[in-house]
Amino acid sequence: MSSNGTLSGRTILITRTDEGNISEREKLENLGATVRELPTIELGPPTDTSLIDKAIKEVSSFDWIVFTSTNGVKTFFARLGVQERGCIKAKFACVGPLTQNAVIAQGFDVSLVPKEFLTKCLGMEMVQKCNLQGAKVLLARSENANPEIALILRNAGAIVVEAPVYKASSLKRIDPIGRELLKEVTDITLTSPSTVDGLLSNFSAEVLNSINVKVHCIGPVTADRAISAGLKVSSTAKVHTIDGLIDTIENIGD
């Protein structure tokens, strides 16, 4: 950890899953920040697995497979058998570069990544750049996901199959002694609406707003959830990635 980096003197609470926190922690510590982890979400199988199991059996019939997170990629391919993997004929569309890299790591090319890394923008660019009339599109993502992209694609004539591959649930971990953690925290990062919900299952908005802590959101969807839940948001990243989030924290100062 650098003691004279741009984030030296800051103590940042990160709120993703245990696995997701690893890369964010490393990036922040390399800039001199002290990092505290509070995983606020846990991932599990979807409530109804029949939808994704049916989609996998019919995977050769899809023209597009759409991923909106690396978690969607990992859980989808973990569920695929060798035979089904070989039957994939679809093009892949991904919400951003990390999701794209996760698909490439599985041995497949990605045909479309939007200029702005938002699910809504992914849907809009698919409509603008592709003829979706009659195209069969698989949305393999969280069962808690915003339905907006499905509506965008259906309005363009696509046959959309929504098949959740995982479920994100709030994770309550803080006991009364653990609340001492907040006394040293200067900043909190939120990377999805689920992390907002998970954070607020541990601390109330009133408590968080009453202390001198800055709340940073990875994008407008996350910020909207935080604001609607009563949180004061200090910044929203213009580039909706972990790197973009960290750049924003650096630029607004302490």
Give per-residue pLDDT as tens, 156-206: 999 999 999 999 888 877 655 456 778 899 999 999 999 999 999 989 999
Q: What is the reported pLDDT for 1?
A: 42
Mean pLDDT of 140-167: 95
Global pTM reads 0.85
Range of the domain at 218: 11-40+171-252
235-99-96 Cα angle (round to 5):
50
Q: Which of 167, 199, 228 marks a domain boundary?
A: 167
Q: Which of 167, 192, 216 marks a domain boundary?
A: 167
Mean pLDDT across the chain: 92
**Residue 85 neighbours by CB under 8 Å, 6+ apart:** 77
Residue type present at position 19: E
Residue 113 contacts residue 100 (beta carbons within 8 Å):
yes
Whether 150 maps to a domain, the answer reads: yes
Q: 78: domain CATH number?
A: 3.40.50.10090
Are 77 and 177 members of one domain? no
Are 111 and 130 members of one domain? yes
Beta bridge partners of 169: 42
Whether 151 maps to a domain, the answer reads: yes
Whether 94 maps to a domain, the answer reads: yes
Are 121 and 194 members of one domain? no
Are 54 and 154 members of one domain? yes
Per-residue pLDDT tens for 58-89? 999 999 999 999 999 999 999 998 899 999 99
Q: What is the reported pLDDT for 4?
A: 64
> Which residue, among 126, 8, 10, has the nearest Cα to 66 in the 3D structure?
126
Q: Which of 135, 167, 199 marks a domain boundary?
A: 167
Are 83 and 160 members of one domain? yes
